[in-house]
Amino acid sequence: MSKKSLRIAMIGQKGIPAVYGGVERHVEELASRLVAFGHDVSVYVRPYYMEENAYVKNTYKGITLKRVPTVHSKHLDAIVHCFLSSLNSLAQRYDIIHYHAIGPATVSWIPRLCGSNVICTVHGLDWQRKKWNRFASMYLRLGQWASYRLPDRTITVSRTLKEYYESLYKGEVHYIPNGVNIPPDAPADIIERKYGLSTGSYVVFISRLVPEKGCHYLIDAFKNVITDKKLVIVGGSSHSDDYVALLHEKGKDDSRLIFTGNTSGEELAELFWNAYLFVLPSELEGLPIVALEALSFGKCLLASDIPENCEVVQPYGKTKDSETFGYTFRSEDSEDLRNQLQYLIDTPNAVADMASKSRKYVREMYNWDMIADLTQSLYLKVVSG
C-alpha cells in the first residue's frame, strides 16, 4: 500500500503534553510519531488542562493544538468538549477523526453523518468506574455500544478488551496496545532532598487517586507489613476529593506513608527509577501504561490479578512453563496483598531477578514506533476504502 500524508484529528483526551492520565500519554506518543511519519495531526485540548502547560502555545512536537471550550465539571467536561470538537472538525476536512475512549465515541456520529472516516480506540470500560452515578454509567454503556457501532474501525488497547468486544458484538476489532519508552537512569536527587528517599528505600504506587485504582487496599495491606521501607503514593484527585481524604485518613497513623500529590518530569522519573517495588492494586484497567512504565524503569511489578494486569505480567498465559514478568495477588484482597508484599520485601533476590528482565520485555512487546506504524496502516486502509 502506498503511503500518503493524511490530515488527522484526535478527540477525547484532555490535552498534551501528558501531565497525567493514560489516554493523554497514549495520544502524545502516537500523535508525535504520526507527525514524524509526515502526517498533519491536530489534537483537541481543553483550556483548563493547558493552563498546567502554559509554556505550550499552538503547537507541540509538530502537533497542532486546537483549544475548544468546555464546562469544567465532573459530568459535563468530556461530553461538552467532544461535542464542540466534533462540530469544529467538520470544517477542517480531516482524512481521519480518531476518538479516544468510549464516552467521546457517543458523538462520533457527527463526523460519520457528514462522510468523515472515524476510528475509535477503547482504553477501558469506563462505565465500570465507581466515581460515576447511575445516569453517567448508563451513558457510558451507550458509549461502549457507540465505540463499536459508529466508527469505521474500533481499536482496543488490550487483548482482553478485544475478546470482550468480539464476543459481545460478533465482529472484528483491532488490537493495538499501549506502549512505553525506555527512559535513562534517574538517580535519587530531588526525591532525597524533598522526601528523604534513597534508592530501594520505598515501595511506590503511581496513579490518579480514584477508587478503582485500589490504593485503599494497598494502604490497608502495607500497615500490616513489617518493614522500614516507606510507601510512597504518587497522584492526585480526579473529581475524587472524598476518596483522597479517605486515603489520608487511613494512612494518618503510619509515619511510613508519603503522599506526594501529582508529580511529573524529573521528580516522577526519580520516583519510578529508585523504587524497590512498584504496586498496582487496581480493580479496573484497559492496558495499564503505568505498569509498562514501571517495567521500562526496570522495576519489579506486583499487580492485582485482573485480566488486563495479567496480560502484562503473564503475556503468554498462566501455564506451568510460561515466563512471567511480575507477581500478582488476588484483586480486592488486602490480606493476600499484604502477604505478597511481605514476601517480596523479605526476598530481595526475587525482586532483583524479576526486575532484570523487565526492560527487554517491554521494549520488544510495547514499542511506540511499532504501535504508531500499526495505527498508520489502519488509517490508510480506512481512507483507501
Interval 42-84: pLDDT, tens: 999 999 988 877 778 899 999 999 999 999 887 788 899 999 9
Report all structural domains of the chain as residue ranges with CATH numbers, in order of start: 7-176 (3.40.50.2000), 190-364 (3.40.50.2000)
Model confidence pLDDT, tens digit, residues 261-306: 999 889 999 999 999 999 999 998 878 889 999 999 999 999 999 9
Q: At residue 23, does pLDDT exceed 70?
A: yes
pTM, rounded to two decimals: 0.82
Q: At residue 2, does pLDDT exceed 50?
A: no
- What is the predicted pLDDT for the residue at 72? 86
- Segment 106-127 shows an average pLDDT of 92
Taking the C-alpha atoms of residue 278 and residue 301, their distance in angstroms, rounded to an integer, is 5
- Segment 147-156 shows an average pLDDT of 96
Model confidence pLDDT, tens digit, residues 202-222: 999 999 899 999 999 999 999
Average pLDDT, the chain: 92
Beta-carbon count within 10 A of 243 CB: 19
Portion of the chain with pLDDT greater than 70, in percent: 96
Taking the C-alpha atoms of residue 56 and residue 22, their distance in angstroms, rounded to an integer, is 20
Ramachandran sector of residue 214 (left: φ over 0; alpha: ψ -120 to 50; beta: rest): left
Taking the C-alpha atoms of residue 96 and residue 54, their distance in angstroms, rounded to an integer, is 28
- Segment 98-112 shows an average pLDDT of 95
Q: At residue 135, does pLDDT exceed 90?
A: no
Contact by Cβ (8 Å): 368, 181: yes
Taking the C-alpha atoms of residue 78 and residue 61, their distance in angstroms, rounded to an integer, is 24
Model confidence pLDDT, tens digit, residues 76-104: 888 999 999 999 999 999 999 999 999 99
- What is the predicted pLDDT for the residue at 176? 96
Q: At residue 321, does pLDDT exceed 80?
A: no
- What is the predicted pLDDT for the residue at 18? 84
Taking the C-alpha atoms of residue 277 and residue 202, their distance in angstroms, rounded to an integer, is 7
Portion of the chain with pLDDT greater than 90, in percent: 77
Q: At residue 323, does pLDDT exceed 90?
A: no
Contact by Cβ (8 Å): 297, 258: no
- Least confident range from 5-14, 114-123, 251-260, 309-318: namely 309-318
DSSP H helical segments within the chain, as ranges? 22-36, 47-50, 77-89, 102-105, 109-113, 134-149, 159-169, 190-195, 215-222, 241-251, 265-273, 289-296, 307-313, 334-346, 348-356, 358-365, 368-383
- What is the predicted pLDDT for the residue at 317? 63
Which residue has 462505565 as its cell numbers? 127
Q: At residue 40, does pLDDT exceed 90?
A: yes
Rg of the chain over Cα atoms, rounded to whole angstroms, equals 21
